[in-house]
A and B are shown apart, each in its own frame.
Chain A
Amino acid sequence: MEVLDVACVSNANPVTCRHPRAAGARSLRPPQQSSEKAVLHTHSAPLSGQVIDGATHPELIPDSTAYRLAFTVIGEPPNPAPQRTVLQTARLNAAGPAGNDAQAAIGILATFKTKYADLVTSYNQAAMGAQQAGAAPDLPAFLASRDALVQSARDALMSVLTPQGAASLDSYVQHEKQRMKTSKDIQ
């Protein structure tokens, strides 16, 4: 058993290590639904264990990872439910593309979302088969396909977005790295 870089352990309340709240702030949070789960908090080095923390080292979050995570959250499959359309519009507004740019992005991200889901499903089926056979799935090939799909979506967006839309999208993704964390080895 190996435990990496655990500087602060809270075994009951996941908000023990919270930031100071502004005066007058109040929380309407309901009781924690899973307070029995131990949550490990650290207040240690920026690179904690095997994880890159984008809050302190955003430059170490690869663009391919950041775009993949952003596309996954912003993107919706084709013909989403009305409430999902509203949600996507809000996210696109935050990300920058508007008007025709937003419409173009919706289609490209729908294609990305569909292909990504298919890719994951195929890999997981292969992984299950490999495990039953006592072999390892071809993870490098999957990761290469995944990153190529992300790059393809980025290229498609850059080809249709206005320069302003493309710049604002990139600025947004770079900013969002602050809210991303990723393993150093497999991203």
Chain B
Amino acid sequence: MKSVAIRLLCLQLLAALPGAVSVLAQGCSSWMTPGYSSYSSLTWSGTSFNSSVLVEGTTTGTCPLGCSCSGVRHYPRANNQLGPVGGWSTGNLVPWNSYISYEDDQTWDDPVPGDVYDFESAGEVECTAVGLFASFPFPDIDWGEPVTFTESTTALAVGGWCPQANACVNTTMPECPVTLVLPTSGGCFPFYETFVVYIGTACLWANPSNRAPGPGVCTTKAQ
């Protein structure tokens, strides 16, 4: 599991000033404390995936006597790689003590049935003096995209409902129990085409609006 590491590295840029204290001089380093939060969000709309990476917070500290801190800037970065879209993005440079609220959003409208992709996300704050200042890497999520499944059978439905059906047909992925509403005429019932979304090992939900408009042929089984 990836977790978090934070480096306290932001220093002063003073070397160019006459008589200035070196950025690495004792007393002019490690005086900043990062205070940031990050949130990685992934949702499914029924037809597309949406992801967000948010970085928020600020830095505290007291500029040591004899050090100039006015030139130090921070900026947020976000990795929001949603399948084939997104990637790293960068926010504006701001003074080191500014409050940052930076959000990167991605939408993928065109998932391909049966394929599996991953979602990579991370939030960072960088310092112009020395680079990476705070890092919030999130664990990758392997996620499947909608899988279609159509089946017909001669089995009788009970009260118009098929209790459950395994709708994820790729056996390398988690199988998701789904309750389907089914007609009972003719003594047999069809499984309608169903979208099931799964992310990692967690099933999400089936979207009824994505069912096929009609049943398959009774007594046949097709995928």
A interface residues with partner B (beta carbon < 8 Å): 1-7, 14-15, 17-19, 21-30, 32-34, 37-46, 48-51, 53, 55-56, 65, 68-70, 72-73, 83, 86-87, 89-91, 93-94, 116-117, 120, 123-124, 127-128, 130-132, 136-137, 139, 142, 176, 179-183, 185-187
Contacts and interface: CB of A to CB of B under 8 A. Distances in A.
B7 A4 contact: yes
A56 B139 CA distance: 12
A157 B52 CA distance: 23
5 contacts: A2-B30, A24-B170, A72-B54, A91-B50, A127-B98
A21 B103 contact: no
Interface string B201-217: 00000000000000000
A182 B37 contact: yes
B157 interface: no
A28 to B, nearest CB: 4
Q: Of B9, B132, B139, which is in contact with the most chain A CB atoms at under 10 Å from its CB? A: B139
**Range, interface on chain B:** 35 or more
A15 B87 CA distance: 12
A4 B105 contact: no
Q: Of B24, B30, B40, which is in contact with the most chain A CB atoms at under 10 Å from its CB? A: B40
A185 B35 contact: yes
Nearest to A117: B101
B193 interface: no
B118 to A, nearest CB: 5
B149 interface: no
Given A33-B88, A187-B37, A6 B120 contact: no
Contacts, number: 240
B6 A38 contact: no
A26 B115 contact: yes
Nearest to A4: B6
B135 to A, nearest CB: 5
A55 B52 contact: no
Nearest to A116: B101
Given A2-B29, A94-B44, A124-B98, 13 more contacts: A29-B84, A42-B4, A44-B3, A56-B1, A90-B46, A91-B50, A124-B94, A124-B99, A130-B97, A131-B97, A180-B39, A181-B37, A183-B34
